[in-house]
Amino acid sequence: MDLLPTGKFKDVFSAQGNRLVRHFDAETMWIEAWGANSLRVRATKQAEMGEMDWALTETPAACAAVIDIQERFATITNGRITARVSAGGQITFTNQKGEVLLDEYMRNRLDVMAPNCSALEIEAREFKPILGGDYTLSVRFESDPGEKLYGMGQYQQPLLNLKGCELELAHRNSQASVPFCLSSLGYGFLWNNPGVGRVTFGRNLTTWQAVSTKMLDYWITAGDTPAQIEEAYAAVTGTVPMMPDYAMGFWQCKLRYQTREQLMNVAHEYKRRGLPISVIVVDFFHWPNQGDWKFDEEYWPDPDGMIAELKEMGIELMVSIWPTVDQNSENYQTMLNKGYLIRTDRGLRVAMDFMANTIHYDATNPAARQFVWDTAKKNYYDRGIKVFWLDEAEPEYSVYDFDLYRYHMGPNVQIGNVYPVMYAKTFFDGMKAERQENIINLLRCAWAGSQKYGALVWSGDIHSSFASLRNQFAAGLNMGIAGIPWWTTDIGGFHGGVPADPAFQELLVRWFQYGAFCPVMRLHGDREPHVPGVGPSGGGKLMSGGPNEVWSYGDKALEVCSKFMFLRERMKPYITRLMQDAHEKGSPVMRPLFYEFASDARSWEIEDEYLFGPDVLVAPVMEAGMTHRQVYLPAGARWMDVNTLVQYDGGQTVEVETPIENLPVFQRVGSDLGFSWN
């Protein structure tokens, strides 16, 4: 056993400006100030430390770290946070009060004077060599069983508090891994590694794992409130642009308008009925082949005239983009020749087989990004389309063999989770170069940092059920905490749902009410029964879902949906303030109760209510046939039921009626929302 000789501990530490360096045997570790009250930790057993900043792309605030090197330990302090590193290498993070925030789990005999000296020989940072390659990495921390953890992106499960959960650090259709978590102990933690892996938030220890990597990289911040933590995270990873006014209204979408005539008929019907509509969507397979990135003018003639007519009606047109390239596409051979497509390490070069054998463009390649944008610009943007639906953003594979695919930046298992960031960047950079402001594009996935590229994330191809609605409730709040404030769902769910079915009509109405209090309100879905394709070629071959407009679900549903569409319009002054806070500070638009009421212990327990901004409390109906529900009102404020105008003191649970016409909503008394409820 290699023990550090007495009197030689100090030799393993050095200071380099704001960076504390520990070098022992093959491992070099850096801990440095990185933004206010925050530290970045990197370690490697490679010859040199990697240079990629990954999610940490924003220039951190200037900080003057205090570094102290002693005989058997060293410390680095940056504002509210201190890291103490033992000579044996164990890191303990504390706040300005000396309270332990996070403590590495290490059990070995390297430092015989350490309190956790043990014969177990478990390393806190375990770099396990891969034969002929890099390392599998495991990083372990002590666990406080009473800790609560939030964030981490979007997972299809109903739990808001993630303590006790195991999560895959990988993207799938309806799963977005955004590896930032906020702790009830007063810290935020970013796993700054875009590789495939896993995290276990166990009762006895927390373990972060990467399947294949060259180095360890994470960032940690300390704050007295959740808002301080969230704003510190946004300061180093970026914030969303300011949301354009039209995006705050109602979006109409379905799978899929097959022709220009179908879409324009729907747009005109909304106007004829006097219903507010801001965006309408041309969904996938409006193109001749995947990878052509243009209208199939057999079914979508005169797109310029269509776009101009919609603009005259005050409606923005959003078009679907897929990253897949059909081998029959007019762009396939050029992209293959230039290395613009992702590669497979074995077998056929096919990643998806939906409607054709396809492979995705390599969004990690700057030249490929430019090619795709140039094509979309010529065929869409120059015609007047200013918002894109960047679908399949994980990217989706027919089989999720993550070790099969290789990108310009490296193997998928090492860097693959950055793909949706680069996909968003493709269009953001192109639109920014055209001097467009307030950029927003819809994506089906995200990773840390996606927000700064105008990513509005939706929760993917989810089931149409109350259980699925419950999952989206948790996903939306955790996405906001993970730094993605622009988030939405397919109102009514995606898969299934028969418009004439009373049970589905109830679900649609309840989901629609919830959708009115999401960052973006968007109706979408693949309704039954399906409609056959309209032609023998291109997108004409693909079927469509059934009707999915607000009048498709019967008179009662139309009455309730209309009520909430007009409410959404009236709420725009308040929503604008929320979007300004998201843009300037990174504040989540939807937030758990504890975000505003951290001192109220009960607020950390509530998992079926949320705040829409600081002053509106929403208690969705997420069960069929519910006629009453209980609502907890946080202590520290007085609350008014907007349906009855009755006021209540906070710190109590009240029971409210939930007729199909109403959604339980409470306003903080004394707040000025800038709109009226009626």
Catalytic site positions: 391, 394, 461
- If you search the block for the tokens 């059909």, which residue do you land on? 326
Cα-Cα end-to-end distance for the chain: 75
Residues 6+ apart with CB under 8 A from 90: 103, 104, 106, 111, 114, 116, 124
The answer to whether 211 and 136 are in contact (CB under 8 A) is yes
> What beta strand segments (E) does 186-345 contain?
187-191, 197-201, 205-213, 215-222, 250-252, 279-282, 316-321, 324-326, 343-344
Sheet of 410-411, strands arranged across: 343-344, 405-407, 410-411
Per-residue H/E/C for 491-514: ECCCECCCCCCHHHHHHHHHHHHH
- Return d(Cα 606, Cα 618) in angstroms, integer: 12
Q: Please state, in angstroms and as integers, the Cα–Cα distance from residue 44 to each residue in 205, 523, 636, following that order.
A: 22, 47, 47
- Return d(Cα 77, Cα 308) in angstroms, integer: 58
The answer to whether 646 and 664 are in contact (CB under 8 A) is no
DSSP classification of residue 11: G
- Return d(Cα 7, Cα 3) in angstroms, integer: 12
- Return d(Cα 196, Cα 416) in angstroms, integer: 7
610: left (phi over 0), alpha (psi -120 to 50) or beta: beta
